[in-house]
Structure 1
Amino acid sequence: MGDTPANPPAGVYSSVRQLRADAWSSLTELARQWASDTSSAARRQATQERLDELFRQLLPIENCWAFPGRSAFTELRRLRTAEDRYGLARRTDELHRALGTESYRSATPRKAEPTAPAGEEPLPGGTTPKPYFEVLVVGELTAAEEEALRISLRGRRRAEDEFVYEIVVAPSFEDAVMAVLVNPGLQAVVIHRRFADRSPYDLSVVAGLVEQPQADPFAQDGPYEQRAQALGARLLELRPEMDLYLMTDGSVERIAGVLSSGFARVFHAREGLLELHLSILHGVRERFRAPFFTALRAHSRRPTGVFHALPISRGTSLLTSHWIPEMVEFYGLNIFLAETSATSGGLDSLLEPTGPLREAQDLAAKTFGARQSYFVTNGTSTANKVVVQALVRPGDIVLVDRNCHKSHHYGLMLAGAQVVYLDAYPLDRYGMYGAVPVKEIKRKLLELRRAGLLDRVKMLMLTNCTFDGIVYNPTRVMEECLALKPDLAFLWDEAWFAFARFHPVYRRRTAMAAARTLTENLRGQGLADRYARQQQELGDDPDDETLLDHRLVPDPAKARIRVYATQSTHKTLTSLRQGSMIHVFDQDFSHRTAETFREAYMTHTSTSPNYQILASLDLGRRQAALEGFELVQKQLEQAGVLRDAIDQHPVLSRYLRFLTTPDLIPGEFRASGVEQPLRTGLARMSEAWEDDEFVLDPTRATLHIGLTGIDGDTFKHEHLMDRYGVQVNKSTRNTLLFMTNIGTTRSAVAYLIEVLLKIVEELEDRKDELGPPALRRQAADAARDAVVALPDFSSFHPAFRPGGRTPEGDIRRAFYLAYDETQCEYLSADEVTEAMTGGQDVVSATFVTPYPPGFPVLVPGQVVNDAVLDYMRALDTREIHGYRPETGYRVFTEQALKEQQTLLESDNGPWATA
């Protein structure tokens, strides 16, 4: 018989879920070995001690779950104490199997095709299990009271109930916080009676894997409603999607009058549990609703006659076709039954929603913490253009990260904005940019203020998080900007960050959460006191350098919160491709922006939207509201597994390594000093995400491949994609970006490791065939980061700079000037260099956008310089929009620039925008 497995040390895990899964596997194996062990007493004693240690590890974790739960765990410990070896092995195996297969969730089947209330989601028929969830009850209940409560709530179940749930009892503040962080299946919390401050259990086993729960904001002997209020606020801060209820023996009328709106209902403990049971089911049903999907499915089941557009509707142009039967065979009939070109009959209109689509968008706003949310069926590129057009008029000044997605640049061009480009800090060694420091943003705002142009500054646009995983601190950015420009609007491009709403550490760095936090801060005394102290410290007229070096806070009497976020639901949550959302948290929306937003939405939204995309957005929102926390936790875990698999592999680690936080974020932006937050557990990750100016999203794994001697583009296309079908979105000369998402599986991670190992082993084989000189050359090439410095934005040519002395440029004027072919010419790179050497300004007439990295290196009206040319020469990317080597750069003629500068100075030209 082999050695018994080692107990999993808590220190090697980044999540409680991983620790729990491995601990149960070890417990099952140890119990099996203990039952069949016929060796020495000393050996059996060692096994027993390991079993006891596993019980110690699992106890505080299992107290957070209804299954196996405290009673089943107590049963196992009783079998261990009684030394019932066979009984322990059998029961442990049963529980482990149920956990692995999640069969405990499906103990209660649904009736066939139950009748749903009007307007609500009908549940699938057959014997599909009812959705299962768990409810946290907080209170010091005895074992008998806990069992009585469980039995009583089970007794309230009815056959027509849509869902089934079990309860988890937490006796203290610490245990309640621990449970909501550990157990993603919790959908509701009932604060039942007085609860302790500290846990009676040893929580050290999970210390560091969760945010520390002992941050107790209330006194042990405080009023019950005050304690309940504080606990409820803490739980909703961590998991705002949960429903919160209070059950008390006191005066429910009085308590209801002082509780915050976070509590859904207050119940009297002596009035029975039926209303509580019904309220719990109702709260989950509200999040489960998918009104547009329900309407679309109902439409697909109705007999209709189509005397309108769309022959494919109802499948009529397909079912009788002799030539394209595979279309129905491949896609299935439902997708065509659900197609229609009409905007009536219960399906609603995307442009003027009044029914189920309006409900679906309202549910999305609640789920994502917005005041309004809008569905977009042609991607975040369009969502960005909608927001820009809604808020920006020709001549308005907009600050924008030069490295943002090209849709921002095109949107600003269409809106006629005068653009001030912001430079992110460069990561030359890896061929990528980081993010824009808040000091850079403030510097540009102060420059515009000195020029008397601050009143024309309307918006700041930033990407959160960047493609490479650099995440801003939106609260700090907006606070400091509003201190200089109190009515500034913000557009946060969160195309790759929609999932962040559903994790307590990530959430604080999202635009909508930051907007709500700022709104609450502006209403509170704390920020007012900070502002008063700031004014005393800075005086009446501080110089710019003082303002740059000081962390500013806005004047609560003047600042307005105007925040917009665009998200690609299809990129990081569940949706069909191009399904996106616009989230709005704008205090001035109804009286200042609603009409212009409506017009912009009409401008860019199709009158024939894809209803399947809309329905998938509705269902994706439902999934995120009910299991987003669990899915994001798993996503984080898979990212950690991927990193560990390569960093700890004896062969792979010789050629490959994942870049760390210090690689991608300079120390000056990391006040916490935490270098690898995920490696040190969520508690340290939380510390970094609270304090640092920039943090690194752990689900983005940038792999450095320099030591392989293969450039990123070749590695990506020829090795990963063409040979093995591994999809990678981005590469630089010496890196590849791997992203985990809510659909990433352990099998997918394992396959990637297999593929990388095959590639590396081929490199090893080739090394054996090379002689010493070739090996030395290869080593030298691999060790060298063959990249040139990333170019900052040069400047706009004076012909396109209305401000003259300030940096804003008129992209639209340059863009449309290039429509006149007589104003443009083509120059090769050498000809551009020659012209520049001769003192000529060479100015781009087009956007030039390499993929990767995917942002414009040149925009219309920008002066070409040596840094841009050097960067373009060094690129080995296969796709460059706006540039063809055979023709060269499209630039304005000298005569065109002279004429435009004259027109600009006279302010009478056809392109005047102010």
Structure 2
Amino acid sequence: MNFRFPVIVIDEDFRSENISGSGIRDLAQAISSHGFEVVGYTSYVDLSAFAQQASRASCFILSIDDEEFGSGSAAEVDKALAELRNFVKEVRKRNADIPIFLYGETRTTRHVPNDILRELHGFIHMFEDTPEFVAKHIIREAKKYLDALAPPFFNALMDYASDGSYSWHCPGHSGGVAFLKSPVGQMFHQFFGENMLRADVCNAVDELGQLLDHTGPVAESEANAARIFNCDHLFFVTNGTSTSNKMVWHSVVAPGDIVVVDRNCHKSILHSIIMTGAIPVFLMPTRNHYGIIGPIPKSEFSPAAIAKKIEANPFARNAKNKKPRILTITQSTYDGILYNVEEIKQELGSTIDTLHFDEAWLPHASFHDFYHNMHAIGKDRPRSEDTVVFATQSTHKLLAGLSQASQILVQNAQNRSLDTHRFNESYLMHSSTSPQYAIIASCDVAAAMMEPPGGTALVEESLMEAIDFRRAMRKVDAEFGDDDWWFKVWGPDELPDEGLGTRDNWTLHAKDSWHGFGAIESGFNILDPIKATIITPGLNLHGQFDEQGIPAAIVSKYLAEHGIIIEKTGLYSFFIMFTIGITKGRWNSMVTELQQFKDDYDQNLPMWRVMPEFAKKQPRYEKVGLRDLCQQIHNMYRKSDVAKVTTEMYLSTIETAMTPADAWAKMAHREIERVSIDEIEGRVTAMLVTPYPPGIPLMVPGERFNKTIINYLQFTRAFNSAFPGFETDVHGLVREAVDGEVKYFIDVVKE
């Protein structure tokens, strides 16, 4: 299989009509004759930009001839060596293995310091050997480098896809051949390409190994990923971290077990509670009036506090075994709040059987010292005596995995190790017997990409891009001045002048006014800089509304129509992430589009002009000015005091009437009824109730509706009626047309 990894030459004489230029061009020609592309440059220009070529090159050839050393004076030589040293340093920061060659006519290794020499794969002295001989030496090293790039499973999959074997197994498209028999199939084939379709194979292909029993190249790749992520075991999952969570839970939790769960958990954890028949005891996170979910106070993690919650739960207090079977914590939260994991482990000791950290949004943390102790499993981390630690990570969210790529990491305890054979029964329960091999390959490659130093450099770049974006936003704000408005990025009041700063710059302290989470434990949590929540004008951190405001729903729709899709939208905030794929071009485009929104808002331009696609779908807004529409929605938010309503509903006391599994059984047996939201106070929900934003379940099957939650549902009804196109989505809320009018219902347990 042919890949494009050119040999990169940097030589001031590459295009010169002299002996040196002729020599390097002869060498380039000799390399090209063996099928390698050669790209020549005459100067380093931007060192960091050139060094990033390390991801696209097969090797570097760097000249150190007289032209690079100028007049030969001490100052010129020092300057040339500094430039060379910086370039090599930048390359090695990202890539420890790519071959680097120096060459010259008069200069030798005697002129190059040891710190540069030790990073080289060879020194070429021009004209002492033929270009053909030198080319073979360079090509041998380049091929050796390229041959070692692909991790085990991806390498085996490429070999299989390229060997031209006839397929008699599923899938039925037989390596893409079936698509070629239909016009629309031809279109599909041309869009996705031959390699993807040839690599879409059945688990009957022995040479690729088995994901379901972790053998062959799959097992080699999982072991390789475990080494890279510094864990004892690692399992690839092709159904997303929702499935990874269920695998972990079904391997350790049985009916009647007490489980301790972050109330700010993903719905897959609640699904796991239902499926296992567990008795949940919830830890309550803090929350500010922007709708940003904060950390669980450290005091809630004490064994005494957990025991008190167990005794207060009518189902848990009568449980046969009072020792919690599992603790699941969301690490990090959607908005980027992280816990010091080692402090949690020390606090709990072995009082809980299994610790599970849902790190769907944190797979990058293993690869940068900034996150030390702020992720579940890492190098040289202490082990609990008896408690096994799991981390579930979405490779596809912040690393380079395809959608649904996920992984489960395991750290054994001192006195207890994971029984992989038993665990695999739970793994099989939730795995497809027809896994998508491209997703497995992306798990494999995503892990290999994070091999230090490359992975560390990728995370460092994400962090710096995120902080530069924050600085840019503050610069714009400063230029507008106090008499004008601008968007804010939620985070610490002070940013470091240069670089990342210290971790304390991003640590949450009780005295801080910026986070709005109250008197939390200082130093227990940090904000991950790569998670950026942008605050729109109109609401302050205390839940007080300004006279004028810009609801975030309008901003996010505006950005989408201008080619910028954001991750999550709140009332007066929206959220973006600086993954390893984010570039300066992307975040600078965000800054400029926000400025364009401000200009359009200030001029109150009509919706047909600033958001024509939206206006076409919702013609009632066509002639409404952008500022006027913002104000109309803002006025309704303010009149309903919706910021406090949404905060209070998540912090309100919710009575547990049934276990989630029993309530779900009522739904399965059709022992439920659909009741108007005006009549559900005190009724028991049979469904998850999940408002978007923030997409965090508000109620679990088996809990009773209180007045605070009903107030929010009634606001949702009124708002959706007043502003179609900006509807608030609540999963579990049923909308049905009754006599020509849209009514809102909830499915509750029959009394």
Choose the corresponding residue for 2:412, options 571, 586, 609. 586
1:879 Cα shift?
2.4
Q: Distance in 2 between matches of 1:848 and 1:472?
A: 27
1:486 is aligned, of 351, 355, 376, to 351
Pick aligned residue for 1:324 from 171, 177, 185? 185
Query: Corresponding residue for 1:474?
Result: 341
Identity, % of aligned pairs?
28
Please state if 1:154 is matched with 2:3.
no
1:701 and 2:557 correspond: no
Does structure 1 retain, via aligned residues, the 8 Å contact 2:685–2:702? Answer: yes
Shift of residue 609, structure 1, vs aligned partner: 0.2
- Number of matched residues? 608
Asked if the contact 1:845/1:890 (under 8 Å) is kept, the reply is yes
1:751-810 deviation digits (Å, cap 9, x = unpaired): 112211111001111299999x9999889959968512422465665642xxxxxxxxx2
Counterpart in 2 of 1:726?
564
Residue aligning to 2:382: 518
Structure-1 separation of matches of 2:556 and 2:472:
20
Partner of 1:859: 700
Q: Deviations over 1:263-291 (max 9, x none)?
A: xxxxxxxxxxxxxxxxxx99x987x4511
Contact 1:479 1:518 (8 Å CA) reproduced = no
Determine the C-alpha separation between the residues in 2 that align with 1:67 and 1:322. Answer: 45
Structure 1 CA distance for aligned equivalents of residues 113 and 450 of structure 2: 34
- CA deviations over 1:285-328 (Å, ceiling 9, x no partner): 87x45110111111112232322222212221022334421112
Name 1:51's counterpart in structure 2.
none
SS at match of 1:736: strand
Q: Is the 8 A contact 2:324 2:352 kept in 1?
A: no
Q: 1:160 to 1:365 in 2, by over 3 A?
A: farther
User: Are 1:825 and 1:890, in contact at CA under 8 Å, matched by a contact in 2?
Assistant: yes
- Give 1:817's aligned amino acid: K
Map 1:801-816 to 2 at 5 A: 810-816=659-665
CA distance in 1, matches of 2:92, 2:249: 49
Secondary structure of 1:639 counterpart: helix
Q: Secondary structure at the match of 1:743?
A: coil
773-782 or 620-629, which deviates more: 773-782
Distance 2:215 2:331 in 1: 32
The 1:142/1:513 distance shift into structure 2, 3 A limit, reads: farther
Q: 1:504 aligns with which of 359, 365, 369?
A: 369
Distance 1:750 1:152 in 2: 37
Quote the residue 1:761 is aligned against: 599
* Structure 2 residue 295 is the aligned partner of structure 1 residue 435: yes
Aligned pairs (5 A) from 1:763-802: 763-766=601-604, 786-789=642-645, 790=647, 791-792=649-650, 799-800=657-658
Shift of 1:643: 1.3
Cα separation, 2, equivalents of 1:788 and 1:628: 42
Q: Matched residues in 1 for 2:423 and 2:698: separation? A: 30
Letter in 2 for 1:618: D
Looking at structure 2, the residues matched to 447 and 97 of structure 1 have their Cα atoms a distance apart, in angstroms, of: 59
8 Å contact kept, 1:399–1:421: yes
Provide the residue aligned with 1:849 in structure 2: 690
Matched, 1:456 2:323: yes
Preserved CA contact (<8 Å) 1:376 1:580: yes
CA deviation map 1:660-701 (0-9, x unaligned) = 435xxxxxxxxxxxx546557544226766971111011111
Cα distance in 2 for partners of 1:342, 1:815 equals 35
Give the partner amino acid of 2:396.
Answer: H
Distance (Å, rounded) in 2 between the aligned partners of 1:467 and 1:353: 32
The amino acid of 1:701's aligned partner reads: A
TM-score of the superposition, structure 2-length normalised? 0.71
Aligned residues of 2:667 and 2:749 also touching (Cα < 8 A): yes
1:636 aligns with 2:452: no
Distance in 2 of aligned mates of 1:747 and 1:477: 39
Q: In 2 relative to 1, CA 96–332 (structure 1 residues): closer, same or farther, beyond 3 Å?
A: farther
Change (3 A) 1:849 1:688: closer
1:646 paired to 2:435: no
Structure 2 runs not aligned, ≥5 long: 1-46, 102-108, 125-133, 312-316, 509-521, 539-547, 607-622, 720-726, 736-742
Question: Structure 2 counterpart of 1:890, which letter?
Answer: D
Shift of 1:153: 6.3
- Mark the CA change 1:890 to 1:161 in structure 2 (over 3 Å): closer, same or farther: same
Q: Distance in 2 between matches of 1:827 and 1:449?
A: 32
CA distance in 2, matches of 1:147, 1:285: 27
1:730 Cα offset (Å): 0.6
Amino acid in structure 2 at the alignment position of 1:585:
Q
Contact 1:658/1:701 (<8 A) preserved: no
Pair 1:302-2:163 in alignment: yes
* Cα distance change on mapping 1:426 and 1:323 into 2, 3 Å: closer
Q: Quote the offset at 1:434 in angstroms.
A: 0.9
Q: Note the C-alpha offset of 1:827.
A: 2.5
SS in 2 for 1:578: coil
Task: Judging by fraction of residues, say which structure has more helix.
Answer: 1
Q: How far 1:828 sits from its partner (Å)?
A: 2.2
* Conservation of the 8 A alpha-carbon contact between 2:386 and 2:416: no
Q: Report if the CA contact (8 A) 1:472-1:509 is conserved.
A: yes
Q: 1:409 aligns with which of 264, 270, 280?
A: 270
1:323-382 per-position Cα deviation (integer Å, ceiling 9, x unaligned): 421112111111111222143331111111221000000011111111000001110010
- Name 2:544's counterpart in structure 1: none
Q: Secondary structure of the equivalent of 2:176?
A: helix
* Residue 888 of structure 1: aligned partner: 745
Equivalent residues in 2 for 1:244-643, closer than 5 Å: 288-427=149-288, 429-442=289-302, 444-447=305-308, 455-482=322-349, 485-513=350-378, 516-519=380-383, 559-587=385-413, 593-626=419-452, 627-643=454-470
CA separation in 2, counterparts of 1:417 and 1:104? 48
1:131 is aligned to 2:98 = yes
Which residue of 556, 566, 581 maps to 1:716? 556
**Whole-angstrom CA distance in 1 between matches of 2:120 and 2:591:** 50
* Contact 2:245–2:272 (Cα < 8 Å) also in 1: yes
Letter in 2 for 1:713: A
In the TM superposition, residue 620 of structure 1 has moved relative to its aligned partner by: 1.2
Q: Kindly indicate whether residue 457 of structure 2 is the aligned counterpart of residue 656 of structure 1.
A: no
Residue in structure 1 matching 2:675, options 818, 827, 835: 827
How far has the Cα of 1:585 moved from its partner? 0.7
Output the amino acid matched with 2:696. F
Task: Supply the distance in 1 between the matched residues of 2:667 and 2:160 (Cα, whole angstroms).
Answer: 49
Say if 1:424 and 1:434, in contact at 8 Å, map to a contact too. yes
Structure 1 pair 633–419 and aligned structure 2 pair: CA distance change class (3 A)? same
CA deviation profile, 1:829-878 (whole Å, cap 9, x unmatched): 3223xxx4xxxx32111111122211111111111112212333445654
Report if the CA contact (8 A) 1:300-1:338 is conserved.
yes
The alpha-carbon distance between structure 1 residues 394 and 321, as it changes in their structure 2 partners (threshold 3 A), is: same
Measured at CA, do residues 883 and 728 of structure 1 come closer, stay the same or move farther in structure 2, by a change above 3 Å? same
Is 1:735 the counterpart of 2:566 in the alignment?
no
Q: Secondary structure at the match of 2:255?
A: coil
* Distance across 2 between alignment mates of 1:105 and 1:164: 17
TM-score by length of 1: 0.59
Contact 2:686 2:701 in 1 (8 A): yes
Q: Which amino acid aligns with 1:720?
A: L
Amino acid at match of 2:699: L
Tell me how far apart the structure 2 counterparts of residues 686 and 628 of structure 1 sit (CA, whole Å): 23
Distance 2:486 2:388 in 1: 44
The one-letter code of the counterpart of 2:467 is: G
- In the TM superposition, what are the counterparts of 1:191-210 in structure 2 within 5 Å? none
